[in-house]
Amino acid sequence: MHQRRYFGTDGIRGLANSGNLHPDIVLRIGHAIGRKVRESHPGPERPRVLLVRDTRVSGPMISGILAGGLLGHGVDVLDGGVLPTPACALVVRRESLALGLVVSASHNPMPDNGIKLFGPDGRKLSDDAEVDIERYIDQAASRDTGLTGADVGRLVPYARAAELYLEAMGNEFFRDLDLAGRRVVIDCSHGAGSVITPRVLAALGAEVLAINAEPDGLNINRDVGVFHADRLAEVVRREKADFGFSLDGDGDRVVMVDETGGVLDGDDILAILAGEIDAGGPGLVATVMSNLGLKVLLKDRGIAFHETPVGDRYVAERMASTGARIGGEQSGHVILREGDYWFGDGAYTALRIAEIMARTGKPLSALATAMDRFPQVLQNVPVSEKPPLSELSRLQETQRRHQIALGDEGRILVRYSGTESLARVMVEGRDRDRIAEVARDLVEAIRAEIG
- Residues that are catalytic: 106
d(Cα 207, Cα 182) in Å, to the nearest integer?
Answer: 6
Contact present, 143 and 177 (Cβ < 8 Å): no
Contact present, 244 and 235 (Cβ < 8 Å): yes
**What are the distances in angstroms from CA 30 to CA 70, 75, 83, 150, 201?**
5, 11, 20, 19, 35
Give me the helix-helix angle, 393-406 and 432-450, nearest 10°: 170
**What are the distances in angstroms from CA 398 to CA 376, 408, 428, 439?**
18, 17, 15, 10
Q: Supply the Cα-derived Rg of the chain in whole angstroms.
A: 22
CA angle 191, 221, 325 (to 5 degrees): 70
- What is the helix, strand, coil percentage profile of the chain, to 5? 45, 20, 35
d(Cα 425, Cα 376) in Å, to the nearest integer?
Answer: 10
Please state, as a whole number, how many other Cβ atoms lie within 10 Å of the Cβ of residue 180.
Answer: 8
Helices (H) and strands (E) in the chain, counts: 14, 20
Task: Identify the CA nearest to 277 among candidates 370, 407, 397, 159.
Answer: 370
Please state, as a whole number, how many other Cβ atoms lie within 10 Å of the Cβ of residue 259.
Answer: 17
Task: Identify the CA nearest to 37 among candidates 26, 25, 50.
Answer: 50
What phi-psi label fits residue 332: left (phi over 0), alpha (psi between -120 and 50 degrees) or beta?
left
d(Cα 396, Cα 52) in Å, to the nearest integer?
Answer: 43
Residues ≥6 apart with Cβ < 8 Å to 86: 251, 252, 343, 344, 345, 346, 347, 348
What phi-psi label fits residue 298: left (phi over 0), alpha (psi between -120 and 50 degrees) or beta?
alpha
Residue type for position 85: T
Residue type for position 222: R
